[in-house]
């Protein structure tokens, strides 16, 4: 691997080790900063802006007290790789590796490309959680470096997609079709959001797209939760979802069965 690859700089806001929800096996998740969408339910609101921010959060040594934490830092591929490689024995035993998440990695394509290249050259399996909301040329530039694309398909209706995320879905769906046509390994992931996409008809439409049009074998449905609420407070932002409850187990089972009726294998959770 060339020195230039190691020294490519990018902006991240977190690295989480030992994740079992974002791709196969045990994984290290690298969270890149910046996203073009503004989903109302986003549980990582600190990921959205490119700017480095500060967020109030409980002081671990005195939970009643708040401390201000800086969100985001500029780093290099080499620095991240050092952390990633610490867990290589776990990846090997579990079939895991590294997952780029965010935010949206496609907002930093040169950094994502260098990081994926470095992982590949060090024998680390790669996955990318993505909205695919970018020019096809950007997606294509990473295609050969990603073992598994975890693709968020949030809604088949473009206007409703725009209302809840600020962006229409045509580019996303076109990129998903193009990736499938190129034989990329993809798993569709759907956040199940009350008032947005939690009806059988809406989930069935996404599952049909994934199974019949994209030819995929697997999808995941992820129940909405309010775990990001405190982050909005810490950022001084209003929580856009109000008091909406999470879908209960029976609702998620119903929706899973609706998706599975298309022929696709559908799991609840990551």
Task: Indicate the Cα dihedral angle 157, 160, 164, 167, nearest 10°.
Answer: 60
**Residue in 86, 85, 149 with CA at minimum distance from that of residue 121:** 85
Select 158 or 265, whichever has its Cβ closest to ligand SF4. 158
Select 97 or 102, whichever has its Cβ closest to ligand SF4. 102
In the complex, minimum distance from the CB of residue 162 to ligand SF4, in angstroms, rounded to a whole number? 13
| Cβ atoms of 92 and 26 closer than 8 Å | no
Environment class of residue 136 by beta-carbon count within 10 Å: exposed (0-12), middle (13-18) or buried (19+)?
Answer: middle
In the complex, minimum distance from the CB of residue 86 to ligand SF4, in angstroms, rounded to a whole number? 26
Select 34 or 96, whichever has its Cβ closest to ligand SF4. 34
Beta pairing, strands 73-76 & 9-19: antiparallel
In the complex, minimum distance from the CB of residue 42 to ligand SF4, in angstroms, rounded to a whole number? 3
Distance of CA 30 to the CA centre of its chain: 10
Select 47 or 175, whichever has its Cβ closest to ligand SF4. 47
Give the C-alpha separation, 126 to 151, whole Å. 14
Helix, strand or coil for residue 264?
Answer: coil
Which residues in this chain contact ligand SF4 in the complex, by CB under 6 A? 35, 37-39, 42, 44, 47-48, 102-104, 131
Select 190 or 259, whichever has its Cβ closest to ligand SF4. 190
Select 124 or 153, whichever has its Cβ closest to ligand SF4. 153
Task: Indicate the Cα dihedral angle 214, 220, 140, 215, nearest 10°.
Answer: -20
Give the C-alpha separation, 206 to 189, whole Å. 10
Residue 141 backbone dihedrals phi, psi, to 5 degrees: -65, -15
Select 96 or 102, whichever has its Cβ closest to ligand SF4. 102
The 3 state secondary structure assigned to 25-37 is CCEEEEEECCCCC
Distance of CA 147 to the CA centre of its chain: 15
In the complex, minimum distance from the CB of residue 113 to ligand SF4, in angstroms, rounded to a whole number? 20
In the complex, minimum distance from the CB of residue 80 to ligand SF4, in angstroms, rounded to a whole number? 19
DSSP lists the bridge partners of residue 62 as 59
| Cβ atoms of 130 and 150 closer than 8 Å | yes
The 8-class DSSP code of residue 107 comes to: G
Select 114 or 190, whichever has its Cβ closest to ligand SF4. 190
In the complex, minimum distance from the CB of residue 166 to ligand SF4, in angstroms, rounded to a whole number? 8
């Amino acid at each position: 691997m060339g020195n230039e690859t190691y020294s490519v700089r990018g902006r991240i806001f977190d690295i989480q080790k030992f994740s079992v929800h974002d791709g196969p096996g045990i994984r290290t998740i690298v969270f890149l900063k910046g996203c073009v969408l503004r989903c109302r339910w986003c549980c990582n609101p600190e990921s959205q802006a490119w700017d480095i921010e500060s967020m109030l959060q409980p002081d671990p040594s005195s939970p009643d007290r708040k401390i201000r934490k800086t969100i985001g830092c500029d780093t290099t591929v080499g620095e991240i790789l050092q952390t990633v490689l610490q867990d290589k024995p776990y990846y090997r035993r579990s079939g895991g590796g590294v997952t780029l998440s965010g935010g949206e990695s496609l907002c930093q394509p040169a950094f994502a490309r260098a990081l994926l290249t470095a992982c590949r050259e060090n024998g680390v399996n790669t996955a990318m959680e993505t909205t695919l909301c970018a020019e096809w040329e950007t997606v294509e530039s990473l295609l050969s470096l990603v073992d598994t694309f975890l693709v968020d398909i949030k809604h088949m209706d473009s206007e409703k997609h725009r209302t809840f995320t600020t962006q229409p879905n045509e580019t996303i769906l076109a990129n998903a079709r193009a990736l499938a046509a190129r034989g990329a390994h993809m798993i569709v992931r759907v956040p199940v959001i009350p008032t947005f996409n939690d009806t059988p008809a809406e989930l069935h439409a996404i599952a049909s797209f994934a199974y019949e049009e994209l030819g995929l074998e697997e999808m995941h449905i992820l129940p909405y939760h309010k775990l990001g609420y405190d982050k909005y407070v810490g950022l001084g932002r209003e929580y856009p979802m109000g008091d909406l409850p999470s879908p209960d187990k029976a609702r998620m089972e119903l929706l899973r069965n609706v998706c599975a009726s298309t022929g696709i294998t559908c799991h609840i959770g990551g």
